[in-house]
Structure 1
Amino acid sequence: MPALALILAFAALILALLISAVRLFSRPGLDLASAPEALHDPLRNADRHSRWTRSAAVLVASAAAAITHLMGIPATLGIFGLAGLAVLVLGERRSPVITKTSRTAALTPRRICDCLPRRSAALIPLGLAAILGLFALGIPTASPVAHIDPQGPGAVHLPAGSYLEGVSTTPAGDLIRSVFYPWPGAFYIIPVLVPLAAQLVLAAAGLWAVAAREQVSASSDEHLDVVLRRRSAEGIVGFLLVSLALLMPRFGTSMIEAATWKVEQWDYLRGALGGLAVIVALTCMATGVLLLIRRPSVFSSPRPSAADTTPSEGPA
Structure 2
Amino acid sequence: MPALTLILAFAALALALPIGAVRLTGRPDPDLASAPESLRGPLRKADRHSRWTRSTAVLAAFASAAIAHFAAFPAAPGVFGVVGLAVLVLGERRSPIITTTTRTAALKPRRIRDYLPRRATTLIPLGLVTVLGLFALGIPTASPVAHIDPPGPGAVNLPAGSYLEGVSTTPAGDLIRSVFYPWPGVFYVIPVLVPLAAQLALAAAGLRSVAAREQVSTSSGEQLDVVLRRRSAEGIVGFLLVSLALPVPRFGTSMIEAATWEVAQWDYLRGALGGPAVLVALTCMATGVFLLIRRSSVLSSSRPSADTTPSEEPA
Verify same fold: TM over 0.5.
Answer: yes
Whether the 8 Å contact between 1:226 and 1:308 is mirrored in structure 2 is no
Whether the 8 Å contact between 2:104 and 2:217 is mirrored in structure 1 is no
What is the correspondence of 1:102-251 to structure 2 with a 5 Å cutoff?
106-150=106-150, 152-153=152-153, 155-251=155-251
Q: What's the secondary structure of 2:173's corresponding residue?
A: coil
Partners of 2:173 and 2:312 in 1: CA distance? 73
Partners of 2:6 and 2:95 in 1: CA distance? 37
Question: Per-residue deviation at 1:250?
Answer: 1.1
Partners of 1:312 and 1:185 in 2: CA distance? 55
Partners of 1:239 and 1:66 in 2: CA distance? 16
Which residue of structure 2 aligns with residue 283 of structure 1? 283
Question: Per-residue deviation at 1:296?
Answer: 1.7
Distance 1:280 1:310, change over 3 A: farther
Q: What's the secondary structure of 1:177's corresponding residue?
A: strand
Q: Among the aligned pairs, what percent are the same residue?
A: 80
Partners of 1:64 and 1:305 in 2: CA distance? 37
**Pair 1:15-2:15 in alignment:** yes
Question: What is the root-mean-square deviation in Å for CA atoms of aligned residues?
Answer: 2.4
Question: Per-residue deviation at 1:287?
Answer: 0.5
Distance 1:312 1:256, change over 3 A: farther
Which residue of structure 2 aligns with residue 58 of structure 1? 58
Distance 1:303 1:143, change over 3 A: closer
Whether the 8 Å contact between 2:166 and 2:178 is mirrored in structure 1 is yes
Question: Per-residue deviation at 1:312?
Answer: 10
Partners of 1:238 and 1:312 in 2: CA distance? 33
Question: Per-residue deviation at 1:217?
Answer: 0.3
Structure 2 spans left out of the alignment, 5+ residues: none
Partners of 1:34 and 1:188 in 2: CA distance? 53
Which residue of structure 1 aligns with residue 91 of structure 2? 91
Whether the 8 Å contact between 1:85 and 1:236 is mirrored in structure 2 is yes
For 1:294, the aligned partner's letter is R
Distance 1:137 1:117, change over 3 A: same
Partners of 1:309 and 1:229 in 2: CA distance? 17
Question: Per-residue deviation at 1:256?
Answer: 0.5
Distance 1:137 1:231, change over 3 A: same
Which residue of structure 2 aligns with residue 36 of structure 1? 36
Which residue of structure 1 aligns with residue 252 of structure 2? 252
Structure 1 spans left out of the alignment, 5+ residues: none
TM-score normalised to structure 2 length: 0.93
Which residue of structure 2 aligns with residue 274 of structure 1? 274
For 1:72, the aligned partner's letter is A
For 1:112, the aligned partner's letter is I
Distance 1:309 1:60, change over 3 A: farther
CA shift digits 1:57-100 (9 cap, x unpaired): 11111221222223332111111110011001101111111134
Distance 1:176 1:311, change over 3 A: farther
Q: What's the secondary structure of 2:38's corresponding residue?
A: helix
Distance 1:41 1:105, change over 3 A: closer
Distance 1:151 1:4, change over 3 A: farther
CA shift digits 1:266-293 (9 cap, x unpaired): 8111101101110100100110111111
Partners of 2:101 and 2:238 in 1: CA distance? 28
Whether the 8 Å contact between 2:245 and 2:284 is mirrored in structure 1 is yes
Whether the 8 Å contact between 1:139 and 1:186 is mirrored in structure 2 is yes
Partners of 2:242 and 2:93 in 1: CA distance? 22
Q: What's the secondary structure of 2:143's corresponding residue?
A: coil
Distance 1:57 1:220, change over 3 A: same
Distance 1:309 1:134, change over 3 A: farther
Partners of 2:283 and 2:311 in 1: CA distance? 35
CA shift digits 1:124-147 (9 cap, x unpaired): 000000000000000000000000
For 1:94, the aligned partner's letter is R
Question: Per-residue deviation at 1:26?
Answer: 1.7
Distance 1:39 1:72, change over 3 A: same
Range with greater deviation from structure 2 (216-225 or 81-90):
216-225
User: Any runs of at least 4 consecutive aligned residues in structure 1 with deviations exceeding 6 A, and if so which?
Assistant: none
**Pair 1:49-2:49 in alignment:** yes
